[in-house]
């Protein structure tokens, strides 16, 4: 029964976000603050992970493609498609669920426990609109941007590994990148990015917003937000792949 | 004037408030006294709409608060200032930003006027040179006074104080008591 009650409260939280802002300027300021927190805050980890994922993909694909019947440029083609279709959107979002999701949940949880959310309510502010909406919108704007960056850095990391480990030349790698490129794959990756961005920001906000208790519960809510976000991301990944590919 | 009529509130099987009625006249400090855990905070939270009472009526100047929709409640809440037990200051903001927050949200005053108002309320709660400090850098008594300054910055019609003296030394408690009394007299 608890799951249905949680889904109901989650939907009510989303519904409650839509109201006329008390002061648009303040909402815009909060939105920009969240963009900076989500976008700039996760930039470093996304860059590091993407480069290494690309590099590892190249090395492992080369290891598995030992037959001389397949051209070496295929390594780059496989790395490109793997990074664009799966690694950049899904793996990056799993990491972002940990980085951004726990941050959102603990921030809102701390505000709830220390009565800061109550203080805002007393002032006559719709806290769902002021605290939750900017986080979701910032997530929807910044996470796809981070994923595009992850795609580029992943492919570049693969190129770097290919050259450094003497697997294939940069010319062959670049040729492989151009071979049979489907722009639809990027569209598919972005569809996943937007879906995952919404899951990460809204689910984490939900667990943080409804925290009850003390600091221990904030930690629990934060962990739960990450776990549930990850499960939903993997589930959505499967559904989107089945529907769109 | 605030009137409470037969307020009842329970959480699951536990009844916290059972049939409480009261009249709180304007221009007076109205006190709710009770043992720890007797439901004072719950009653106050019902009065400001943070909790929904199970039954009963809460009337603000004759208007039944419990029957209003969210937007109408928000309008009444704009006339309410509240000092929370744990101060509830925004810990990522400085003292100045904390107090200026309601002004930023609900007024279109120029920055100079807002800063003047912040300094005015800070001086009313006997705080100086704390504008740029963060709540974590303040003592418990100072936090309470900053929270009180934030609660009165918009000149609210109703001021609710939840255990304003809890955790404070007797001297700071007296300062807070005098401040609340002084603010009540000035608000009339």
Distance CA A143, CA A37 (A): 11
DSSP track, A66-102: --TTS-TTHHHHHHHHHIIIIIIIIIHHHHHIIIIIH
Tell me the H-state helices in chain B: 40-48, 70-77, 95-106, 111-124, 140-152, 170-187
pLDDT value, residue A85? 93
Distance CA B57, CA B63 (A): 10
What is the ipTM for the molecules in this complex? 0.88
pLDDT at B187 over 70: no
CB contact under 8 A, B50 and A122: yes
Distance CA A206, CA A130 (A): 14
Which residue among B50, B85, B90 sits closest to A121, beta carbon to beta carbon? B50
Q: For residue A3, is it within any domain?
A: no
Is the CATH code 2.30.30.100 the one for domain B1-77? no
3-state secondary structure of B12: coil
Phi and psi at residue B19, to the nearest 5°: 55, 55
pLDDT at B39 over 80: yes
Distance CA A231, CA A182 (A): 29
pLDDT value, residue A20? 83
pLDDT value, residue A33? 94
CB contact under 8 A, A119 and B82: yes
pLDDT at B29 over 70: yes
For chain B, domain boundaries: 1-77, 80-188
pLDDT value, residue A68? 81
The stretch B160-186 carries a mean pLDDT of: 83
Pairing, β B63-64 against β B80-83: unpaired
- Reference B153, options B99, B90, B95; nearest CA is B99
* Residue length of chain A: 245
CB contact under 8 A, B45 and A118: yes
Which residue among A22, A114, A115 sits closest to B106, beta carbon to beta carbon? A22
The stretch A34-57 carries a mean pLDDT of: 93
Q: For residue A15, is it within any domain?
A: no
- The chain-wide mean pLDDT, for chain A, equals 92
The answer to whether B1-77 and B80-188 have equal CATH topology is yes
pLDDT value, residue A141? 95
pLDDT value, residue B59? 92
pLDDT at A21 over 80: yes
pLDDT value, residue B112? 94
- Domain containing A67 equals 23-244
pLDDT value, residue A131? 95
List CB contacts of B139: < 8 A, sequence separation 6 or more.
Answer: none
Distance CA A143, CA B73 (A): 36
CB contact under 8 A, B88 and A115: yes
pLDDT at A10 over 70: yes
Taking CB atoms and an 8 Å cutoff, what residues of chain B touch A116?
88-91
Taking CB atoms and an 8 Å cutoff, what residues of chain B touch A122?
48, 50, 77, 80-82
CB contact under 8 A, A114 and B50: no
- The chain-wide mean pLDDT, for chain B, equals 88
Is the CATH code 3.40.50.300 the one for domain B80-188? yes
| pLDDT above 90 as % of chain B | 42
Q: How many CB pairs under 8 A join A and B?
A: 52
The stretch A172-188 carries a mean pLDDT of: 91
3-state secondary structure of B8: strand
The first and second tokens of residue B40, run together, are 């004072």
What are the tens digits of pLDDT across the range B115-170? 999 999 998 888 888 999 999 999 888 898 899 999 989 888 888 999 888 877 88
What are the tens digits of pLDDT across the range A133-149? 999 999 999 999 999 99
What pTM, to 2 d.p., does this model score? 0.89
- The number of domains in chain A is 1
Taking CB atoms and an 8 Å cutoff, what residues of chain A touch B77?
121-124
Taking CB atoms and an 8 Å cutoff, what residues of chain A touch B90?
116, 119
A32 touches B: beta carbon within 8 Å: no
CB contact under 8 A, A122 and B48: yes
pLDDT value, residue A1? 61
The stretch B61-72 carries a mean pLDDT of: 86
pLDDT at A117 over 90: yes
pLDDT value, residue A195? 96
pLDDT value, residue B73? 84
- Reference B102, options A124, A222, A49, A96; nearest CA is A124
Taking CB atoms and an 8 Å cutoff, what residues of chain A touch B52?
none
Q: What is the distance in angstroms between the Cα of B106 and the nearest Cα belonging to chain A?
A: 7
pLDDT value, residue A69? 84
The stretch B18-36 carries a mean pLDDT of: 88
pLDDT value, residue A19? 84
């Amino acid at each position: 029964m608890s799951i249905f009650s949680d889904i109901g409260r989650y939907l009510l939280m989303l519904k409650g976000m839509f109201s006329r802002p008390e002061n648009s300027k303040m909402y815009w300021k909060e939105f920009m603050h969240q963009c900076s927190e989500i976008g700039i805050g996760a930039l470093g980890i996304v860059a590091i992970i993407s480069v290494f994922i690309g590099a590892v993909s190249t090395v492992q694909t080369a290891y598995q493609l030992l037959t001389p019947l397949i051209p070496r440029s295929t390594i780059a083609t496989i790395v490109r498609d793997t990074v664009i279709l799966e690694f950049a959107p899904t793996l990056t979002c799993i990491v972002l669920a940990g980085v951004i999701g726990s941050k959102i949940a603990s921030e809102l949880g701390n505000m709830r426990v220390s009565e800061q959310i109550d203080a805002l309510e007393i002032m006559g502010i719709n806290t769902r609109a002021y605290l939750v909406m900017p986080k979701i919108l910032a997530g929807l704007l910044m996470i796809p941007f981070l994923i595009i960056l992850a795609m580029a850095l992943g492919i570049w990391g693969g190129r770097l590994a290919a050259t450094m480990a003497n697997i294939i030349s940069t010319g062959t790698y670049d040729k492989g990148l151009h071979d049979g490129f489907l722009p639809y794959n990027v569209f598919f990756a972005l569809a996943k990015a937007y879906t995952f961005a919404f899951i990460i920001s809204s689910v984490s906000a939900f667990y943080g917003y409804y925290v009850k208790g003390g600091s221990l519960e904030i930690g629990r809510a934060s962990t739960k937000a990450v776990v549930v976000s990850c499960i939903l991301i993997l589930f959505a990944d499967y559904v989107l792949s089945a529907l769109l590919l | 004037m605030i009137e409470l009529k037969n307020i009842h509130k329970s959480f699951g099987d536990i009844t916290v408030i059972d049939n409480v009625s009261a009249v709180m006249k304007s221009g007076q400090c109205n006190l709710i006294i009770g043992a720890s855990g007797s439901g004072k905070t719950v009653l106050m939270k019902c009065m400001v709409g943070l909790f929904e009472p199970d039954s009963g009526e809460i009337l603000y100047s004759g208007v039944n608060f419990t029957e209003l929709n969210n937007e109408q409640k928000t309008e009444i809440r704009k006339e309410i200032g509240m000092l929370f037990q744990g101060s509830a200051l925004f810990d990522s903001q400085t003292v100045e930003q904390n107090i200026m927050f309601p002004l930023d949200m609900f007024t279109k005053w120029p920055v100079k006027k807002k800063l003047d108002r912040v300094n005015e309320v800070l001086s009313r709660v006997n705080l100086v040179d704390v504008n740029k400090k963060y709540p974590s850098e303040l003592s418990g008594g100072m936090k309470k006074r900053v929270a009180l300054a934030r609660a009165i910055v918009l000149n609210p019609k109703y001021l609710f104080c939840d255990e304003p003296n809890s955790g404070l030394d007797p001297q700071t408690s007296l300062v807070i008591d005098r401040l609340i009394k002084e603010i009540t007299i000035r608000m009339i």
